[in-house]
Amino acid sequence: MAKRGSQLADKISIDMTPMIDVVFQLISFFMFSLKVVAPEGDFDIRMPLGVAAAAAPDDQQVPPVRVKLSAGPGGELAGIAMNGTPVADFDELRSRIIALVGTDTGPNSLADRAEVELDCDQELRYVNVVRAITAVSGKIQDGQIVELIKKIKFTPPKRG
């Protein structure tokens, strides 16, 4: 093969400066507009006004599971009760719910029709409500969410 030694050195030099300027502008734009957001999720609460009292009882309707959350003097959780019987903690509440509705969560199953009514003390810290909703609305099994009761409502607030 022929050797073409010194001719290769005559390359056309491109001026990189504008490109690098633009690229750095882009980087700084994306860097400053970056917002670190924690993933968030929702729990549905269905509370149409007045329907609870007006709805006629039919045979499809199961009586709501009443979960009472009592608050201590500082707003901390003092006690949980399900349908009037005391429950030790949220894990026990979840197993009671599973015992009540079973593991069948398909359409028109008991878990699908059942409803939980949360009766919370006014002073209770809200974090306990979310823990109670987490306990009744599902469980984690092998990394998968198994849904339990999805219909959740609050009792009307009692003003003392």
Partner 1 sequence: MAKRASSGPSTTDIDMTPMIDMTFQLITFFMFVMNFSEAEQDDRIQLPLSQLAKPVEGAMETPITLQLTQDGSVIYAGELISVRDIGGYLEREKAVMLDAGKEPNSATLIVRADGRAKTGEVQDIIRICQEKGFERFVLRAQYDEGR
Parallel/antiparallel/unpaired status of strands 85-87 and 151-154: unpaired
The Cα 123–Cα 154 span in angstroms is: 15
Interior angle at CA 106, CA 59 and CA 56, nearest 5:
20
Interior angle at CA 53, CA 51 and CA 54, nearest 5:
60
The Cα 68–Cα 114 span in angstroms is: 17
Does position 15 interact with partner 1 (CB under 8 A)? The reply is no
Per-residue binder mask for partner 1 (CB under 8 A), 88-127, x = binder? --------------------------------xxxxxxxx
Closest to partner 1 by CB, 41 vs 59, is 41
Q: Per the structure block, which two tokens stand in for 89?
A: 């903690």
DSSP 29: H
Among 96, 128, 149, 151, binds partner 1 (CB under 8 A): 128
Closest to partner 1 by CB, 50 vs 106, is 50
Q: Residue 23 Cβ, how far from partner 1 at the closest point, in Å?
A: 5
Q: Name the one range near partner 1 by CB under 8 A: 14-22, 55-63, 82-90, 108-116.
A: 14-22
Strand partners, 81: 68, 86
DSSP 114: -
Among 48, 73, 84, 106, binds partner 1 (CB under 8 A): 48
Q: Which residues bind partner 1 (CB under 8 A)?
A: 13, 16, 19-20, 23-24, 26-27, 30-31, 33-35, 37-49, 69, 71, 75, 120-131, 133-134, 137-138, 140, 145, 154, 156-157
